[in-house]
Amino acid sequence: MVASSDGASLREPDPRSKQDRGLPVDALESLLLSLLAIVAAALLFGVFLALQGHDALAVYRTLYLGAFGTRFSLESTLTQAAPLLLTALCTLIPARVGLLVIGAEGAVVLGGLGAALAGVALSGAPDGIGTVLTIAAGALAGGLWIGAAGALKHFRGVNETISTLLLNYIAIALLNHLVSGPIRDFSQTLKAQSWSIPKNFMIGNIPGYSVHWGLLIGLVVCVAVHLVLRHTTLGFAMDILGGNRRAAQMTGLPIGRLILLACCLGGACAGLAGAIEIVAVHGAASESLVVGLGYAGILVAFLARQNPLAVVLVALVLGGISASGGLLQRRFDIPHAATTVLQGLIFLTVLASGTFRGRLLPRREAR
Amino acid sequence: MTGTFELGWWGVLLAIVAGAIRVSTPYLLVSLGETLTEKSGRVNLGLEGTLVLGAMSAFATCYLTSSPWLGMLAAGLAGSALGLLHAAICNLPRVNDIAVGIALFIFGIGLAFFLGKPFIEPRAAMLPGLPLGNWSANPAIRSAFDVSPMFFFGLVLAIALEWGLKNTRWGLILRIAGESADAARAIGLSVHRVRTLATMAGGFLSGLGGGFLSLYYPGNWNEGLSSGQGLMAIALVIFARWSPIRCFYASLLFGGTAAIGPAVQTVGITEGYYLFYAAPYVLTLGLLIYSSSPTRTLAGAPSELSISR
């Protein structure tokens, strides 16, 4: 698919080429389109709720309250958003070279497994070093996992969307196998989980808030990815490859290396998300890693139109929607799945809105 | 399964064969549907959502009307509604069909869980099976050969599609739309309409696959009902090289590998249960690696298809 027009439609038009026009029309248009799409989705969801006999306005008020209304809900939103910042990058970075990777779910699992195993193996190491190595092991595991899909794509031509999809299921089966026997902590009788990492490897909350440090790590990684993609020759080379494979070939870019690198980096981000789930929340690998963080990340990446800075904003909105699910259930007796319906609707309208790109705002003729 | 123990290892083989027939049916229906859609030049990656929504619709309808066949119809209609939605969005210029599929995957599952919440507890009437094992007194054999008519429906459909795609006017129209949109337009076909109908038909069959899950095997409705059959069926289509009859063989193979885990469990082997569970996925990936090539597209792939370019 690399060479196809589909690769191009995964990406935004390169902003660099438009800078000389003075106004970032494309950026403005993207923002406007996303907002319109979200409004459309909200209207559709409102109709859906009304058909079910709910007061849509009251539901939206509660949704806002549950997401951003109080300090508690805001902290819960931020906690939900933290892993999405990283899992979104697993789709976003490969999309820059024209690949559609949907394997973040599996990379999160592998990252969590890697971190849990490394943490257990390293017990006795000094606090800081142990934590860093534990997290790094998770990122490495995730990077190799998606990197494998990149290698299959480059060397064997295996479609990366299908292979990463299959890898998700293989990762989950591997996790279930390991925590139900080989690495199971049999002293935990309530739940099948792995041995726990040492307590002193755990990263706590940001002082004064009940939000763990993973949020900050996610933010830093998003900004770093933005800088690399936007301001380095590597990022430029990736954009060329994603935009036009033949041009990349003509220029003599190392296509295989770029594909592998993009996949490894993306996978490492998702692996990092899994590792943070271990060192900040669970302390051990278990089925709690498989809660759809990866699939939500795909949604975030597309909603952010493959822009790492926009990911931050989108992750907050989607984190908010997830965070308010519980409140909706309690107040209106609306099933928790309502938030999934809303997310699906937003995804659909955002994709549909892509058709208006380049046609919504008037612009000067290109020179 | 009483009676399996006296059969020993023959029982394992029997369980795998029975499992293959039973587990393969949803694979078969979904993959036939996806073959139709992909032959027209589009990929619908959202069939997992379609499957789950179909399962819910079938179960809910069957519970309310106590007619499993009406339930199957509802499942098919719900599936084609999602197919129509997919096609309508993909008919817009510059929209990526794979991404729309992922969105429908999320949407369909959300909708199914939302609307299906009240139906998790109750029991509904089940689809009847054909008792082909009555010649035997062994209850394990009898239950193993209790085959759903949907399996035979799938088999007949596979043969009919294999023939129809090659030998009928409709099959030709579908293949032209999938091989070259320009050629189709040149002879006055509406590519959008062909693809819309093909995606709706694909959705209908996937919905039926879901109905099989909730009304025959495993035969209930809950949120863990599908373990990704809808997604794997898409890989299966590639494995089957877009041929309906090969979809049938591939479905049996997938069903058989999926049945290995539960089958060896009946003789007391529980070690590595979850690894057996991964067998169909590993098999698919292995076959994809084996059959793909970095320099040419997959043999038999419709040229307009985004995943084969």
- DSSP states along B94-107: T--HHHHHHHHHHH
Flag whether A3 is in a domain. Answer: no
Helix or strand or coil: residue B251? helix
The more confidently predicted of residues A109 and A162 is A109
* Strand intervals (E) in chain B: 130-131, 146-147
* Nearest CA-CA partner of A94 in A43, A28, A164: A164
Quick one: what percent of chain B has pLDDT higher than 90?
Answer: 53
Q: What is the mean pLDDT of chain B?
A: 88
CATH number, position A249: 1.10.3470
**Range from A43-57, A163-177, B211-225, B254-268 carrying the lowest mean pLDDT:** B254-268
Q: In the 8-state DSSP scheme, what is residue B297?
A: P
Neighbours of B9 (CB within 10 A): 9
**Is the separation of the CB atoms in B161 and B36 below 8 Å?**
yes
**Is the separation of the CB atoms in A116 and A194 below 8 Å?**
yes
Tokens of B168: 């009928």
Tokens of A275: 């590792």
Please judge whether B110 and A3 are an interchain contact, meaning their C-beta atoms are less than 8 angstroms apart. no
C-alpha distances (whole Å) from A178 to each of A113, A117, A120, A282, B272 are: 9, 11, 14, 16, 9
Quick one: what percent of chain B has pLDDT higher than 70?
Answer: 96
Residue A172 has φ and ψ, to the nearest 5°, of: -65, -40
Please judge whether B114 and A344 are an interchain contact, meaning their C-beta atoms are less than 8 angstroms apart. no
Quickly state the pLDDT bin for A13 (edges 50, 70, 90): low
Quickly state the pLDDT bin for A365 (edges 50, 70, 90): low
The pLDDT value recorded for residue B35 is 96
The pLDDT value recorded for residue A1 is 36
Give the burial string for A232-256 (b: 16+ CB within 10 Å, else e). eeebebbbbbbbbbeebeeeebebe
The pLDDT value recorded for residue A4 is 41
Tokens of A340: 């999934």
Q: Is A181 on the interface with B (CB under 8 A)?
A: yes
Chain A residues touching B105 at Cβ < 8 A: 295
Tokens of B144: 């193993």
A291 contacts: CB under 8 Å, gap ≥ 6: none
**Is the separation of the CB atoms in B183 and B56 below 8 Å?**
no
Give the burial string for A51-75 (b: 16+ CB within 10 Å, else e). eeebebeebeebbeebbebeeebbb
Residue A193 has φ and ψ, to the nearest 5°, of: -145, 165
Flag whether A301 is in a domain. Answer: yes
Q: Total domain count for chain A?
A: 1
Chain A residues touching B107 at Cβ < 8 A: 340-341, 344-345, 347-348
Q: Is A298 on the interface with B (CB under 8 A)?
A: yes
Flag whether A126 is in a domain. Answer: yes
Angle at A340 (CA atoms; ends A60, A173), nearest 5 degrees? 155
Q: In the 8-state DSSP scheme, what is residue B146?
A: E
A69-111 pLDDT, tens digit per residue, is 999 999 999 999 999 999 999 999 999 999 999 999 999 999 9
Cα B221 to the center of its chain, rounded Å: 17
* Nearest CA-CA partner of A95 in A310, A313, A341, A272: A310
B21 contacts: CB under 8 Å, gap ≥ 6: B147, B151, B252, B255
Terminal Cα-to-Cα distance of chain B (whole angstroms)? 47
**Is the separation of the CB atoms in A179 and A286 below 8 Å?**
yes
The pLDDT value recorded for residue A19 is 46
Flag whether A26 is in a domain. Answer: no
Q: Which residues are paired to B147 by β-bridges? A: B130
The pLDDT value recorded for residue B7 is 66
C-alpha distances (whole Å) from A107 to each of A141, A293, B178 are: 8, 10, 34
Quickly state the pLDDT bin for A180 (edges 50, 70, 90): confident
Mutation target among B44, B242, B307 for the A interface, most CBs of A within 10 A? B307
Q: In the 8-state DSSP scheme, what is residue A17?
A: G
Mean pLDDT of the A323-349 span: 90
Flag whether A7 is in a domain. Answer: no
Angle at A283 (CA atoms; ends A137, A121), nearest 5 degrees? 45
Mean pLDDT of the A138-149 span: 98
The pLDDT value recorded for residue B232 is 83
Q: What is the mean pLDDT of chain A?
A: 89
Helix or strand or coil: residue A193? strand
B56-105 pLDDT, tens digit per residue, is 999 999 999 999 999 999 999 999 999 999 999 999 998 889 889 989 99
Cα A278 to the center of its chain, rounded Å: 17
CA-based nearest residue in chain B for residue A2 = B309
- Name the minimum distance, in Å, from the CA of A337 to any CA of chain B: 5
CA distance A115 to A132: 10
Please judge whether A4 and B231 are an interchain contact, meaning their C-beta atoms are less than 8 angstroms apart. no
**Range from A129-133, B124-128, B158-162 carrying the lowest mean pLDDT:** B124-128
Q: Is A4 on the interface with B (CB under 8 A)?
A: yes
Into which CATH architecture does domain B4-291 fall?
Answer: Orthogonal Bundle (1.10)
**Is the separation of the CB atoms in A167 and A145 below 8 Å?**
yes
Residue in the structure block whose two tokens are 């989950």 = A172
Check pLDDT > 80 for residue B272.
no
Neighbours of B153 (CB within 10 A): 17
Please judge whether A157 and B110 are an interchain contact, meaning their C-beta atoms are less than 8 angstroms apart. no
The pLDDT value recorded for residue A14 is 52
Q: Is A46 on the interface with B (CB under 8 A)?
A: no
CA-based nearest residue in chain A for residue B286 = A163
Domain that holds residue A202: 55-333
The pLDDT value recorded for residue A6 is 43
Q: What is the ipTM of this complex?
A: 0.89
Mean pLDDT of the A207-225 span: 94
Mean pLDDT of the A338-349 span: 92
Q: Is A144 on the interface with B (CB under 8 A)?
A: no
Neighbours of B244 (CB within 10 A): 24
CA-based nearest residue in chain A for residue B305 = A1
Query: Hey, which of A31-35, A269-273, B239-243 has the most confident mean pLDDT?
Result: A269-273
CA distance B53 to B58: 8
Quickly state the pLDDT bin for A223 (edges 50, 70, 90): very high
The pLDDT value recorded for residue A68 is 93
B184-224 pLDDT, tens digit per residue, is 999 999 999 999 999 999 999 999 999 999 999 888 898 88
